[in-house]
Each structure stands twice: as structure tokens, then as C-alpha cells.
Amino acid sequence: MSLTLENVTQIVDGQYYINQANLTFEPGSFNVLLGRTLSGKTSLMRLMAGLEKPTSGRVLMNGIDMTGVSVQKRNISMVYQQFINYPSMSVYDNIASPLRLAKESEASIKDKVMEIANMLRITPFLTRLPLELSGGQQQRTAMARALIKDADLVLFDEPLVNLDYKLREELRIEMRELFAQRNTIAVYATTEPNEALALGGTTTILHEGQIIQTGPTAETYHSPCNVIAATLFNEPPINMINGNISKNEVTFDNTVHFPLTSELNVLEEGEYQFGIRPSHLSLLPKNDDDLEMSVQVEVAEISGSETFLHVRNAHFQMVLHLSGVHRYQVDEKIKIYVPTHKLNVFEKGGKLIQSSSRKIEDNYHG
Amino acid sequence: MAEIHLKSLAHSYDTTANPPEYAIRQMDHVWHDGGAFALLGPSGCGKSTLLNIISGLLVPSEGDVLFDGVRVNDTPPQDRNIAQVFQFPVVYDTMTVFDNLAFPLRNMKAGTAKINTKVREIAEILELTDVLDKKAANLTADEKQKVSMGRGLVRDDVSAILFDEPLTVIDPQLKWKLRRKLKQIHEKFNTTMVYVTHDQLEASTFADKIALMYGGQVVQFGTPRELFEQPNHTFVGYFIGSPGMNFLEVERCDEGVCFGNTIFTLNNAEKKALQHSKSTNLKLGIRPEFVHVWDKPNDDAFETKVEFVEDLGTYKIVTLTFAGVSMKARLQEDQQVPQHTAFISFPEQWLMLYVDEFLVAKESDYE
């Protein structure tokens, strides 16, 4: 089954919750909705599910107009951030409940419950009550219930937020594997860029009720279509610097001047915004035409294997994402290097003009 | 500010159980004055129990909690001079930001001039100056959390500030800002801080030392770098790092240990440790970051099959099959991934031997 949103708009009390959304999700696809809190992710999912009716526009399933058809008449499952289970039923009965509603035979129910419980590694807990389980196990129970009925569309609304970091890492992989074998459309809302990247599939970036960009996840990350997409889809946040290009130099923030490099002299003279990913900055020059900047250290956040170095000059702040442990004193003066071929150049406040010329390799998923 | 000493500390919620079940198993730790510490671990590991014992919400069933050498087991939370910041910001909605920040000082009957100076100083650091006159109800979630933190910071006399998952409800972009603020604040004031989290990035960027907890025990207490480079237990190897450490189950052989037909030689300390043990539970561990990946064979490299590649933006994770076992390697964004067949090698420095799940140090303990 495919799902299409056609010019879907939702207005509540004069406020645009969703503004002219157009999207198509293919059968068997895994789709991430990425956006900050209140960007419209939940609203969009409720419209997809039929829990809300759009103010205008259509929701199509397999090409058939389903706008206004209630959620009960669609084959849909939802998993929420707060795990919802029936507290008085055993884990087994919780998982079995959608099939019992559909009046399936107990024999067939048993097979299916065992299969999904096995996949989600909750078989040992089937006779327990949900509240006797850990948070991760409870969420897996809720997921098992959502997955058991072979829904056409499964909606996940930040399902892993309340779980341990490690458990999230494991459940993400499980989910990817689970959906790889199915024809179901999965939609997964998250606020975290790194989670979107880990989930793969396609990513749709939402901001203030509008779809900013949609496409294969890695491609969307590497080629953000505008300043908003670049800002939302990077962790730590991408460094954005206003600047301009004149006949023979590029200037950051009216203060830092560099001679024009071959990468940048194809651009017309004018004002731009330069997006520099924290991971592309370095402490040593790597290319002949790297731009050298003098900065002061604000603070170094050092994990066991990486350093997030926050620096500033008189005019702007930047963060560098470095491999390894680098210790610095606060206010220490250092030089950093910007590779010009990795700059994302945007129209001021607007769309991408020149992407980092890095070639996106053929990454294949097995 | 205070040194926190957890002396022969243990806790059982049910002391009548036989055998007793411990939420916190006996430990002895001294957390030096002015340090930044993280309690890290999966849910149910006992980190919140331990925090509650430090704050005084819970009286330990065994052992003592000492603040600067003074036993505080029976001192209630309000008399311990600690400040706490919780997962959900606690602010007085009807008060202004200024009054929220001033609240602890007014309770102490501080003078108006002192209150004014201190509140403005803290507001400046937390970038709250512009909203000082606003009602707290009208703040965003991250601003509210900054007010919560600020209330802990205005007092000069706090022994420690305890944070219980303070960034969980904050959006990622703002998390970065707040985390940085917290780090700067610690560097400026040097207050003893204890930070509970299940997020290794938050723990490792914040803390000088991490207590990694599992099953009511601190399995390793060390710097983030030590936990990453020298995990002293397989659980630490697994829990720290993303993805966690690769493990190969190996057997003893004449030259060292063997993984199928592959022989790994050991250094003297490791050989001696093996001689002292009869265990057959032997593992080699290596972090995905330290696996070298080549597209052509060389003397030290093993042939593997490339299963799939995940592009995680700033880096890539390659899943490989090495003699039937799945392994992960972490590559830089620009590094080429060989197609189908890759050759991998393990730098000796980063290949760790585990006997019964515990690390064998590369330097000998048996000299």
C-alpha cells in the first residue's frame, strides 16, 4: 500500500498546524519525520492515521481517497512515546489483543505472538504484567502489539525517547530489520538528527508545519536544500556564517577576509550564508586552499574518543567536532582550518546554491 | 563545596529478604571536592538509588555517606546544602525569573544588595538577563531548565549540585547549548557536581570521572578516556561507544589465543594472566574505531565480507563478517569503503584480552 498526502493543510483556531503538505510514501518504506518539538510531526501523523481531518487537501491510500475515513476503518497502528499497555493484562494478552478483536483463532494468535515476541526478545516475560517489566520491555510490548496485526501503516511518535541510550541503539536496528521484511509503511517521528541517520530510509524535514525537504536520509543530510534544512539536520548544529563574495575575496561576517579559491570563484559576487559542518573543520590544514582562521577556545567538551571544541572570534562562535582527545585552556588562541570544497553555500536565509562538492558514494544497504 | 565519600555503602530496599537483594552492592568511593562526576548506566542499574542516597531522600541500609568527612546518613535533604536539578524543570510559574533565582537566597535571609548582585551574575552566565522580568510560566522548556540550574548556582554554600537526567526533555539543538553552559559553569565555579544520565555522550562530555553502573555496582570508575580505551569489563566495552566494542570468543593455544584458525599472540602480562587462570571464558575485544579496514590484502590483515554500510553523516559504520562472526568498523566520512571484500587488522595496542569478562591489563600485575 502507498500513502499520499495531497496539499494537506490543517488550520486550528486560525493557526497553521500543517501547511500544504505533499508527500508520497512507498509500500515497505521506512520514513523518518525530523523536526523540533511542535514542528508538526504529531499533527502530520494524526492526519495520516485519520485521527484528524485536514482543513483542505486529500489523503490517499493506494490511490484511493481516504480523507475523512475514520481511523477504525483503516488498517493502522500507532506507537507513542509513553508506552501504552493494558495494565491488567499479561504481556501475551496485550500483544494478542488486536488479533482477538479481529476474531482470529487462538492457534493462529499463538503462532503470531510467539513469532513477534521472539523477534523483540520478550518471550521470557509473556506471562508477566506490563508494570513488572523495565521501560524497554514495556515499550517492546507496545511495539509488538502494533506490529502483530500486519497494519498497512505503522506510526511511531518518538517511541524511544524514554529509553536507555544502548537500548535505543539496539531497538533501532531491530526495527530496521523488522520492516525490511514487510510491506508495511513505517513512519517514525524524531527530534534527533543522529537518530534519523541511524534509521536510514527516507527523511522528511518539518519546520513550523511545513515540509522543508524530503528524500533518502543520507542524501538529505549531505545536500540540505536550504538554511533551515542544514540547521535542523546536523548534530552538533552546523556553523552558519554570513559572508560575501567580491571580485577577489570572500569575507566572513565583514571581518575575516580570504582570497577567493577555485571552489568559490564560480559564484557570483554578493551576499551568502556559509554552512560549515563541525566535523569538517580541522586543527591542521588538509588542503592547499583551506581557509585559516584565528579563534579563541571557549570550552572543550571531551568524550572518551571525540572532542567538541567550541571556539569564537570577536564576531561569531563555531564548534569543531574532532576525533580523539584534544585538551585546551579556556581562552587559548588557536588556528582552525576551513576546507573550501566542503562549504555549503546558501542564498542569504534561503536555498542551497553550492553543496560541498563531496561525491556521495554508492552506499549500499544489505 | 564538599568531598563526597561513599563509605562501605550498600543499599537493600528489603533488609528482611534472605538472601538479601541489593539495589546497591557494597562500594567505596571518594569523589573529590570540586569534581564533575557522572553516574551512567542502563535503567534499573541503581544510579537513581545512589543519587537519592547522596541527596538524602533515601537512608542507606549499610555504610555511610560522608560530606567533607562528616557523616550525613541521617541528615534530611534540606539540611545537606545540596541543590538538585530534575528531568522536568521545577520553577515557580507565577514568579518572575528574577524571583525564582532569588528564592534560595531570600530563604537564607540574604541582603537585597547581595541578592541583586548574585542573581544578575548567574543570569548573565546562563543568558537569562533578558528574561529576568518575565513570568517563569512564559518561558520555553530550555529556559525553564536554565532557571532550575540557576537556583542551584546562586548559593555560595552548596556542598554539591545533583542533576537527574536534566536534558532529557530538551530538543537536541538546545541540548548542545545547555551542555556547553553547564561545562562552562563547572569550570568557573568548581562546585562538586553529580550528574545522572543514561546517555554516554552527556556523561562523557560533562564529567571528569564517570561511575559506570550495572546491576547495583560501579563496574568502572574512571575518566571518559579510560572507559573508552581501557574498558575493564566487557559490559563497559559494550555500553560505552557507539556501536560498542567487538568481541571474539577465543580459545587457548600454544602461541596465545586462537579464533578458529587465526592465532593471536599475547604479550607477557596477558600470557601470565592466562597461566594463572583455568577459565575457558576468553574474549578478545576491539573497538570499531580501532579496526583498520583495507581494500587489499596485507600480512596482518584478515579477509572479511562486507555486509552493509551505514552512512551516519560524520562517519560510517561498516558491518563485516569475519570467520562467521559479525563485526563493526567505524570509518571517517571521506574514507572509501571496499566493496564486497574488505581486509581488516587489529592494532595490538587496542586489542584487549578479557578473562571471565574482566580485562587483563597490558602491563603485568604479576611481576
DSSP secondary structure, A128-190, as one string? S-GGGS-HHHHHHHHHHHHHHT--SEEEEESTTTTS-HHHHHHHHHHHHHHHHT---EEEEEE
Q: Is the peptide bond before B19 cis (omega within 30 degrees of 0)?
A: yes
Would A205 be classed as within a structural domain? yes
Same domain assignment for residues A22 and A127: yes
Confidence of residue A356 (pLDDT cuts 50, 70, 90): low
The amino acid that residue B280 corresponds to is T
Which residue in A220, A179, A227, A230 sits closest to A196, CA to CA?
A220
Which residue in A227, A228, A150, A132 sits closest to A186, CA to CA?
A150
Would A364 be classed as within a structural domain? no
CA distance A240 to A243: 10
* B313/A193 CB distance under 8 A: yes
Same domain assignment for residues A146 and A175: yes
Question: Average pLDDT for residues A219-230, to the nearest whole number?
Answer: 93
According to DSSP H, which parts of chain B are helical? 47-55, 97-107, 112-125, 141-153, 172-189, 200-206, 224-229, 234-239, 268-275
Strand order in the sheet with B82-85: B82-85, B160-164, B193-197, B36-40, B209-214, B217-222
Instruction: Tell me the backbone φ, ψ of residue B60, rounded to 5 degrees.
Output: -65, 145
CA distance A169 to A121: 15
Question: Is residue A178 pLDDT above 90, yes or no?
Answer: no
Question: Is residue A68 pLDDT above 70, yes or no?
Answer: yes
The amino acid that residue B260 corresponds to is G
Same domain assignment for residues A182 and A330: no
Would A308 be classed as within a structural domain? yes
How many CA atoms lie less than 13 Å away from B184 in the CB half-sphere?
Answer: 19
Confidence of residue A361 (pLDDT cuts 50, 70, 90): very low
CA distance B1 to B160: 6
Query: For position A212, which CATH number holds?
Result: 3.40.50.300
Q: Which of B188, B228, B290, B311 to mutate to test the interface with A (most CBs of A within 10 A)?
A: B311
Domain B4-231 fold is Rossmann fold (3.40.50)
Same domain assignment for residues A205 and A246: no
Instruction: Please report where in the chains the cell 570563484 appears, as a residue.
Output: A265
Question: Is residue A362 pLDDT above 60, yes or no?
Answer: no
* A304/B223 CB distance under 8 A: yes
* B224/A303 CB distance under 8 A: yes
pLDDT at position A67 is 92
pLDDT at position B326 is 95
Task: Work out the minimum CA distance from B89 to partner chain A, whole angstroms.
Answer: 16
Q: Where a domain ends, among A175, A199, A228?
A: A228
* B179/A301 CB distance under 8 A: yes
- Which stretches in chain B have pLDDT values below 50? 366-367
Same domain assignment for residues A9 and A138: yes
Q: Contacts from A121-127 at CB under 8 Å and sequence distance 24+?
A: A122/A91, A125/A91, A126/A90, A126/A91, A126/A92, A126/A95, A127/A90, A127/A91, A127/A92
Instruction: For residue A25, give every residue at least 6 positions away whose Cβ sits within 8 Å of its Cβ, in sequence order, or none.
Output: A2, A3, A4, A31, A185, A187, A202
Question: Is residue A357 pLDDT above 70, yes or no?
Answer: no
Task: Work out the minimum CA distance from B277 to partner chain A, whole angstroms.
Answer: 31
Which residue in A283, A335, A339, A343 sits closest to A307, CA to CA?
A283
* B176/A221 CB distance under 8 A: no
Instruction: For residue A308, give every residue at least 6 positions away whose Cβ sits within 8 Å of its Cβ, in sequence order, or none.
Output: A236, A278, A300, A301, A302, A319, A320, A321, A322, B205
Task: Work out the minimum CA distance from A237 to partner chain B, whole angstroms.
Answer: 6
Task: Note which residues in 41-70 of chain A have CB less than 8 A from chain B.
Answer: none
Same domain assignment for residues A41 and A153: yes
A95: left (phi over 0), alpha (psi -120 to 50) or beta: alpha
Which residue in B194, B291, B201, B191 sits closest to B241, CA to CA?
B201
CA closest to A299 among chain B residues: B184
Radius of gyration from C-alpha coordinates of chain B: 25
Q: Which of A37, A164, A177 to mutate to test the interface with B (most CBs of B within 10 A)?
A: A164
Radius of gyration from C-alpha coordinates of chain A: 24
pLDDT at position A345 is 92
Would A359 be classed as within a structural domain? no
Question: Is residue A95 pLDDT above 80, yes or no?
Answer: yes
> A333 pairs with which residues across the strands?
A296
Give the residue, A162 or A172, on which the prediction is more confident: A172
Q: Flag whether the pTM goes above 0.80.
A: yes
CA closest to B185 among chain A residues: A299
Same domain assignment for residues A145 and A260: no
Confidence of residue A260 (pLDDT cuts 50, 70, 90): confident
CA distance B119 to A304: 35
CA closest to B229 among chain A residues: A304
Which residues in B lie closer than 8 A to residue A277 (C-beta atoms)? Answer: 314
Same domain assignment for residues A146 and A282: no
Q: Which of B142, B314, B328, B350 to mutate to test the interface with A (most CBs of A within 10 A)?
A: B314
Three-class secondary structure assignment of B52-116: HHHHCCCCCCEEEEEECCEECCCCCHHHCCEEEECCCCCCCCCCEHHHHHHHHHHHCCCCHHHHH
Write the residue in A194, A310, A363 that is nearest to B309 by C-beta: A363
pLDDT at position B155 is 86
DSSP 8-state secondary structure symbol assigned to residue A268: P
Q: Where a domain ends, among A228, A254, A276?
A: A228
Question: Average pLDDT for residues A56-73, to the nearest whole number?
Answer: 91
Instruction: For residue A297, give every residue at least 6 positions away whose Cβ sits within 8 Å of its Cβ, in sequence order, or none.
Output: A309, A310, A311, A328, A329, A330, A331, A332, A333, A334
Which grid cell sits at A12?
486550528
Count Cβ–Cβ pairs < 8 Å, chain A vs chain B. Answer: 118
* A36/B173 CB distance under 8 A: yes
Write the residue in B171, B244, B309 that is nearest to A364 by C-beta: B309
The amino acid that residue B271 corresponds to is K
Same domain assignment for residues A70 and A203: yes
Domain total in chain A: 2
Average pLDDT over chain A, rounded to an integer = 90
Angle at A339 between CA A338 and CA A341, to 5 degrees: 140
* B312/A330 CB distance under 8 A: no
Question: Average pLDDT for residues A250-267, to the nearest whole number?
Answer: 84
CA distance B308 to B340: 9
List C-alpha distances in Å: B98 to A99, A260, B54, B92: 56, 49, 29, 11
Would A365 be classed as within a structural domain? no
Instruction: Please report where in the chains the cell 558514494 appears, as a residue.
Output: A361
CA distance B71 to B2: 12
Which grid cell sits at B343?
581486509
* A303/B312 CB distance under 8 A: no
pLDDT at position A107 is 95
Which grid cell sits at A298?
571557549
Instruction: Tell me the backbone φ, ψ of residue B64, rounded to 5 degrees.
Output: -130, 155
Which residue in B140, B42, B144 sits closest to B89, CA to CA?
B144
Which residue in A204, A229, A240, A154 sits closest to A40, CA to CA?
A204
Residue A329 touches chain B, beta carbons under 8 Å: no
Length of chain A equals: 366
Q: Where a domain ends, among A208, A228, A248?
A: A228
> B332 pairs with which residues across the strands?
B315
Which residue in B248, B256, B333, B337 sits closest to B287, CA to CA?
B248
CA distance B187 to A299: 9
Q: pLDDT, tens digit, for every residue of A191-215?
A: 999 999 999 999 999 999 999 999 9
Which DSSP string do the residues of B151-173 spell out, in sequence order?
HHHS-TT-SEEEEESTTTTS-HH
Q: Which CATH number fits domain B236-360: 3.90.950.20, 2.40.160.100, 1.10.1270.20, 2.40.50.140?
A: 2.40.50.140
pLDDT at position A358 is 44
* A325/B44 CB distance under 8 A: no
Which residues in A lie closer than 8 A to residue B200 (C-beta atoms)? Answer: 165, 303
Cβ–Cβ under 8 Å, residues B71 and B112: no
Task: Work out the minimum CA distance from A244 to partner chain B, whole angstroms.
Answer: 26
Enclosing domain of residue A125: 3-228
Domain range annotation of chain B: 4-231, 236-360
List C-alpha distances in Å: A307 to A60, A190, A331, A348: 47, 25, 16, 30
CA distance A290 to A341: 8
Instruction: Tell me the backbone φ, ψ of residue A9, rounded to 5 degrees.
Output: -130, 140
Which residue in A176, A193, A305 sits closest to B237, CA to CA?
A305
CA distance A229 to B34: 41
The amino acid that residue A232 corresponds to is L
Same domain assignment for residues A140 and A255: no
Same domain assignment for residues A126 and A85: yes
pLDDT at position A363 is 36
Same domain assignment for residues A120 and A147: yes
CA distance A41 to A39: 6
Write the residue in B171, B176, B229 that is nearest to A36 by C-beta: B171
